[in-house]
Amino acid sequence: MADEERSLPYVVEVTAELPYYVPIPEGTALAPSLIGAEPFQLEFQHFKPLRHPEDSHGEGVDDRRGTYLRSKARVVFPVPWLPPDEKRQDYERKALAIVNRALLSVRYVAFDPTIIHVNEFENCIVRLWERKPGGQVIPAGTWAQKVSYGPFGITPQATLTSEALSRVWWIFNELAPTNPACLLVLDAKYHSAVGDVSRAILDLATALEINIESLVNLYSSVSSSLLQLDLDVSVYKLYDAVLSQATGHSLHEKPDLYAELEYIRELRNSIAHRWKPQFQVTAKMKDRSRYLAQHTPRDGHVISSSEELDPLIDHTQEIIKFSIDAFVAKYGKL
């Protein structure tokens, strides 16, 4: 924290348990970069939930990874005066918003679909501290406290590299762009893991639909001519004519990927109209597609399992990567 923040006489400390493990090393702090922003400092801690003295089962099970190691978020707010009791929920809400902003940044950088939005804190403790002359810090009050129990069985988890942590800081402070298409792929991975096939396919199709426009908007800061492109066209033209006008490349250079673009889009249409992830070679596709040889064998096929989603997720990522690489080759890396 800056010296002026350390000089404030009081501190509000919000510590809350999260339902899962966050791959941020202990001791790594996130703070706002914007001048004039409300000062705070966020860090993550990791803990082993206690075993309940009367039961071998308890709270604190991380169902995502099959491990019982969990994380706590600690947000510290330096303040000029001692807040009244009725302000406790205000600080909880502010801390929750800050933590979710950080979790979204970590989710994006780690590309981990299991790091999800937290609706509310578990076992939230709000402590008040007073700074005395000479640097001594003494308790000024505690608004809530609870002990959490959980079974034994700790499994260590990896943490992000220093380079990745640097990216988290830039994204957390909104100083580096994110591609929303990548976030939708993460959402698709999450829904695939929980068996929601239709929702995962809708995520993938939406990711492909918005990806080119997102890249055009992002790189328009480098080349204003991109703003002249007509983006109000079909998703197929986005990856052909529009991508070619923007970068000199078309997804047709990768015929297998273009065929997968068509496949995912038609699955999306089937879900939108009949809520059934069934691929059909339509009359329009017969007139338009160059890849009927790839499509005909799977005509009528219904995607019914998460295992069948895996290649669709991989192909979506490859299509997005192809388009990103085309923009980077033309305009450089942002």
pLDDT tens by residue, the chain, 334 residues: 555 555 688 899 999 998 888 999 998 999 998 766 789 999 999 887 655 444 444 444 444 444 467 899 999 999 888 888 778 889 999 999 999 999 999 999 999 998 999 998 878 889 888 888 777 777 777 665 554 444 333 444 678 999 999 999 999 999 999 999 999 999 999 999 989 999 999 999 999 999 999 999 999 999 999 999 999 999 999 999 999 999 999 999 999 999 999 999 999 999 999 999 999 999 999 999 999 999 999 999 999 999 999 999 999 999 999 999 999 999 998 7
Asked if 110 and 160 touch (Cβ cutoff 8 Å), the reply is yes
pLDDT of residue 86: 79
- Between the CA of residue 193 and those of 98, 101, 197, 268, 314, what are the distances in Å? 27, 23, 9, 19, 14
Structure tokens at 14: 């919000």
Query: Which pLDDT belongs to residue 83?
Result: 83
Are 242 and 229 spatial neighbours (Cβ–Cβ below 8 Å)?
yes
What domains does the chain contain, in order, with CATH numbers? 3-172 (no CATH), 180-331 (1.20.120)
Q: List the end-to-end C-alpha distance of the chain, in Å, as a whole number.
A: 29
